[in-house]
Structure 1
Amino acid sequence: MNLHAYAETHDVTNQVPPLDGANLYRQDLPLQEWVRRYQGEWADQALSEYGELAGGPLMQAGFLANENKPLFKSHDRYGHRVDLVEFHPAYHELMTAGISAGITSAPWTDPRAGAQVARAATMYLHNQAEAGTSCPMTMTFACIPALRLQSDVADVWLPKILSRQYDPRNLPIEQKTGATIGMAMTEKQGGTDVRANTTRAYPAGIGGPGQAYELVGHKWFCSAPMCDAFLTLAYTDKGLCCFLLPRHRPDGTRNQFYIQRLKNKLGNWANASSEVEFRGAHAWMIGEEGRGVPTIIEMVSLTRFDCMIGSSSLMRQALTQAAHHCAYRTVGGRVLADQPLMQNVLADLALESEAALALTMRMGKALDNPHNEQEAKFARLVTAIGKYWICKRAPAIINEAQECLGGAGYVEETILPRLYREAPVNSIWEGSGNVQCLDVLRALSKEAGVLEALFSELGDGHGDARLGAHIERLKRDFRDTDDIQYRARQLTEDVAVALQAKLLLEAGNATVSDAFMASRLAGHGRAFGTLPRGIEVEQLVARSTPNHG
């Protein structure tokens, strides 16, 4: 008997072609349309080029950066304390690409119409390749408004922060071609309640805004500890204050900034998060003394916007993987994407993904118009609404996309497990769900004109009876203030869905807007894949299926 005849037990069939090298921008029709809708069409070529990069080399770098987590090196071989974090070259490749593309700087250095929208689209593409590197880029981008409050400090730091050169060398700021900024706010005993912080700041001289202090205390979460400086909070005798704390002191020596350990996180593996101590660390006060929270909130608002971008992009990449798989995989002799129940699931995922993108890009438009009072109030409110709702929806979408692939969606050779691990961080970081919903109530009840700005944006339903009825219910719900904190999540969800429905309706694609309102405003179904009859599911699926264009 010839046993070699049995060496091959089967032929490999019914497998989908790889998506390797796909242009993430050109294959994403909704993204192209929403960028154009909000005045970002001038960035089309740059976005196409970045989409090519993100779907190819950066996608591969993302896998490598996650397979090779950052390592903490506390001492050098001679026993000197160095407090360094070492990254795989793939991490640096991703950081170089993002910073070169203007993710950390473009809207500040070229504040034209659509600048925030184009930057959000670039981050949306980058984040699909690897989300961990978005953390330091987000904080570097978001620190600008806070630092501009202190012009003497900003004059030194902003030219390096706004540079499009990524310089990971551990050197004093004067010797660097570019700089990144991190954040260290929360402490063990308080978490989100930063008023419970115990870190103290002692003036090195006269004290006051722009002056040098020495900080003593700890931070339970310090994001991206290899950044060149960190915005942080500490108490003086006048209250909680904001400081910029550099890795190096003005004389070039290392600052008294000590990493205790790196966090062992559920996801976000390519990025280092740490626990740190300040042992007389040099820092400069930013903004008015005793007004640390209002100062640093300038940064927090933009980082929350990036949480919206981040979760939206994770949704999109999960949908891309699921739609691509189902376009080729056959079950029972039929392609999955042609089977009615799978069409229901994919169409539902596509609706949720585009609704998240629409609200995110509308937020970008508001940020592009900061001097417009209506837009500024809209941005103030939707930062919290979008951060809550979009970030809440991402884990469920990604899990549903995994189911579309079956067991293949649960193994690390695909990107879906990484997306699933990544999704919760955006709902937790920068204030979890309750914090966002209470902030929505605070804005609507305590800040003049915000409630009016919301209903001005929503209008009367734009001729759609379902949306009109939903808006009227919202008005009644806000007039009823009994137990309003108890109902804060439901109110926030209802506002988010109303805004998404309105944006989709305005965009003019009746297939998308009608399906969204028929399913989201009518209370139809609780799991994805429960769209009512009469939805044009084939068109919705086709709209979001990669075409390698």
Structure 2
Amino acid sequence: MRVEEGFQIIPYAEENPYTSDPVLPFLLKRILPAKTLEEIEPELARFGQDVITKIRAVGDNVAPPRLVQYDQWGKRVDQLHTSAGWKSLKAIAQTEGLPGIFYERKYKEDSRIYGFAKALLMVGDSHEVFCPLSMTDGTARVIELMGTYGQKKHVFRRLISRDPSFAFTSGQWMTEKPGGSDVSRTETTAQFLGKSNVLGPHFYVDGFKFFSSATDSDVAVALARTGSPKDGSRSLSLFLVPLRLPLLRKPSDPVPSPLSNGIFVHRLKNKIGTHALPTAELSLERTEANLIGRLNQGVKNITPVLNITRIWSGLGSVGGLRKCLAIATAYAQVRKVQGGKVLLKDIPIHVAELAKINLMYRGLAHLTFGAIRLMGRVECKVASEEEENRLRIMTPVVKAFAADKACGCMEDAMTALGGAGYMEENDIGRVIRDCLVEKIWEGTVTILALDLLRATDDTKRLGSLIAWATSVIADSSKLRSAVGGQIQNLESRIDLLKVALQNPVPSLMPRPALMLIGYILSGLYLLEHAIWAHTANQPEKEVDVEVFRRWIDDSGFTAAVEDVKKARIASDNVIKSNSAMVFGVKTKL
């Protein structure tokens, strides 16, 4: 029998990722002014259609980068070749205003919401092009806050440009071999040349950067030591590094050599995913750079970059899950089973599994956009002190919680297609591989859990979060008859969080506490949404109430509570037993 004969499988067809999304349109309706939503919604619908047609087609031309270190005659050239698809995706994102929307601030503090809404629609088809664009966003923010006059005049406007032929992208170079996430052991050094140029105080930088994403960028922000190594992270400064010299040249000028600023590509990283993204090991030899901010305050000065990229990372996890869920949902509407008589969408046990994935997507989306909303308010200086405190706590939580929860749900979406889900053509496999990096990039869950402890060590910050939680719960009086038990459980879990984070915090507590606060924050945002839907008599009000109920009862929240309780009573014997299980019991022969 020929393949075109006999039974023919009906292909699933994904709908517009904005208009068909179960979360985003309704979330935006709640958190944006009506006039703003009226203006941007047609643009989001248009862009959503572009994502599944034009942008997805561009992705077919994406391929891994290729490094040519030496030419035919043995001369070092370090030519990095990226695919046409990668370049096109980057240009599309820049033209669409990513990251430009954030700094044009047409919609003031809501510009962050608008820009990230567009990013959510595209990120699953972006092939990780938002990695360099997120670092470009962070670099723009650092220069906006503390850059020199020359950096603001010549670099900032190119970082936020919508014109791909003029726009810069930026990398971020922190990681080195001795320390990984511990930058206190940074070996790269910077030497002041005793003068300034148009971009500010002029230095030579020498060192080795072990993970350098966006190696095809125009500039990078990098940490380098400007004081004694014994001072650890207190003697690090932040620098703007041009990848080629001269950086400020006319469009008609020839492109300088990749070696023109003493940057040598040792090798490209061979990664499990993010194959299109050029990540490299770099040697810096008398590399010219310019100081950003004050000397020996590099860790403090690079913090805005980390805060922004961590929110981008959280959105990447949520956006990857959005795409996988959309595929599984579309497949259920065309695939027939039981002798070809019943669609998967009419099989209760199958739909129940999709509902679990849908529930997690809703929780993560509301959590992430809760942080995005606060970020916009802080950047536009309209946030209260309480909101600033909440954002400080939420930033590591959003990144870690979304990364930890999204990938497992993506795997569940894959299995919802059966054997068809395991095929590369549907793109779920690539999305999972790419999103696995979100569990590591910009800090593992463990690293971010320790950062959460630093954030909550200031009791005022945790108090701000608790005060907001109390106000949300106080507004829920009209829902008490429907979800009174769940609200009561949420209140008790907030009380447990307060106890869990009391000093001294038990050694095994940081990670369980982060997961608990992730569930609590998501639950509060889902409750806030359900209150709004009920008050505004929205068509989905009953669904939103049910989503909150299930988040409290069936999302994994209860297991997170038990993990915190175990961590509270864990003794030194538990810690010793863990070590023995992992590394074995040492015995003398």
Same fold (TM over 0.5): yes
Identify which of 456, 461, 464 aligns with 1:450: 461
In structure 1, how many angstroms separate the alpha carbons of the residues matched to 2:365 and 2:59?
22
Instruction: Report what 1:165 is aligned to.
Output: 163
Structure 1 residue 129, shift from structure 2 partner: 1.3
Per-residue deviation at 1:280? 0.7
Measured in 2, the distance between the counterparts of 1:45 and 1:476 equals: 44
Identity of aligned pairs, percent?
24
> Map of 1:91-490 to 2, 5 A cutoff?
91-110=86-105, 112-148=108-144, 149-152=146-149, 153-167=151-165, 177-206=166-195, 210-237=200-227, 239-250=235-246, 254-332=260-338, 333-370=341-378, 371=381, 372=383, 373-446=385-458, 449-459=460-470, 461=473, 462-463=476-477, 464-479=484-499, 480-490=502-512
Give, in whole Å, the separation in 1 of the partners of 2:3 and 2:524.
57
Is the 1:74–1:83 Cα contact (8 Å) retained in structure 2? yes
Report deviation, 1:78.
5.7
Give the structure-2-normalised TM-score. 0.82
Report the CA distance shift for 1:522/1:79 in structure 2 as closer, same or farther (over 3 A): closer
Match among 507, 516, 520 for residue 551 of structure 2 = 516
SS in 1 for 2:61: helix
Q: How big is each residue's C-alpha offset from its partner over 1:398-443, in whole Å with a ceiling of 9 and x where there is no partner?
A: 1101110111111111111111111211111001111111111110
Instruction: In structure 2, give the amino acid aligned to 1:503.
Output: Y
Identify which of structures 1 and 2 has the higher relative contact order when contacts are C-alpha pairs closer than 8 Å and 6+ apart: 1
- Aligned residues of 2:66 and 2:80 also touching (Cα < 8 A): yes
* Aligned residues: CA RMSD: 2.3
Q: Could you list the per-position Cα deviations for residues 293-322 of structure 1 after superposition, in whole angstroms to 9, with x for gaps in the alignment?
A: 111111010000001110000111110011
Q: Deviations over 1:357-385 (max 9, x none)?
A: 11111111101211312222111111111
* 1:483 to partner: Cα distance: 4.4
**Per-residue deviation, 1:15:** 3.0
Question: Partners of 1:522 and 1:87 in 2: how far apart?
Answer: 43
Deviations 1:247-304 (A, max 9, x none): 1234876211111111111111111111101001000111111110111111010000
Q: Unpaired runs of 5+ in structure 2?
A: 229-234, 250-255, 478-483, 531-543, 562-589
Summarize deviations over 1:442-461 as a string: whole Å, max 9, x none: 10113x62101111221163
Which structure 1 residue ranges, 4+ long, deviate > 6 Å from structure 2? none
C-alpha distance in 2 between matches for 1:228 and 1:300: 19
Query: What secondary structure is seen at the aligned counterpart in 2 of 1:192?
Result: coil
Alpha-carbon shift at residue 482 of structure 1 (Å): 4.6
Check 1:443–1:201 CA distance in 2 against 1; reply closer, same or farther (3 A cut).
Answer: same
Q: 1:88 to 1:522 in 2, by over 3 A?
A: closer
Residue identity matched to 1:109: E
**Corresponding residue for 1:547?**
none
After superposition, give the CA deviation of every residue in 1:131-179 in whole Å (9 maximum; x if it has no partner). Answer: 4111111111111221130223222211211211113xxxxxxxxx111
CA contact 2:147–2:293 (8 Å) conserved in 1: yes
CA distance in 2, matches of 1:121, 1:376: 22
Q: Distance in 1 between matches of 2:109 and 2:178?
A: 43
Tell me, yes or no, if the aligned pair for 2:356 and 2:555 is still in contact at 8 Å.
no
State the partner residue of 1:53: 50
2:403 is paired with a residue of what secondary structure? Answer: helix
Secondary structure in 1 aligned to 2:333? helix
Matches of 2:326 and 2:4, distance apart in 1: 32
How many residue pairs get matched?
A: 507
Distance between the aligned counterparts of 2:348 and 2:559, measured in 1?
18
Taking structure 1 as the reference length, the TM-score comes to 0.88
Q: Distance in 2 between matches of 1:399 and 1:347?
A: 14
CA contact (8 A) 1:470 1:521 kept: no
| Gap regions ≥5 residues in structure 1 | 1-5, 168-176, 527-549
Cα distance in 2 for residues equivalent to 1:409 and 1:231? 40
- Separation in structure 2 between the aligned mates of residue 43 and residue 255 of structure 1, nearest angstrom: 42
| Pairing 1:21-60 to 2, within 5 Å after superposition | 22-39=15-32, 41=37, 42-60=39-57
Change in 2 beyond 3 A, CA 1:523/1:506: same
Aligned to 1:529: none
State the SS of the aligned residue for 2:265: strand
Amino acid at match of 1:56: T
Measured after TM superposition, the shift of residue 80 of structure 1 is: 4.4
What is the CA-CA distance between 1:128 and the residue it aligns to? 1.7
Contact 1:242 / 1:292 at 8 angstroms: preserved in 2? yes
- How far off is 1:9 after superposition? 8.7
Range with bigger deviation, 103-112 or 291-300: 103-112
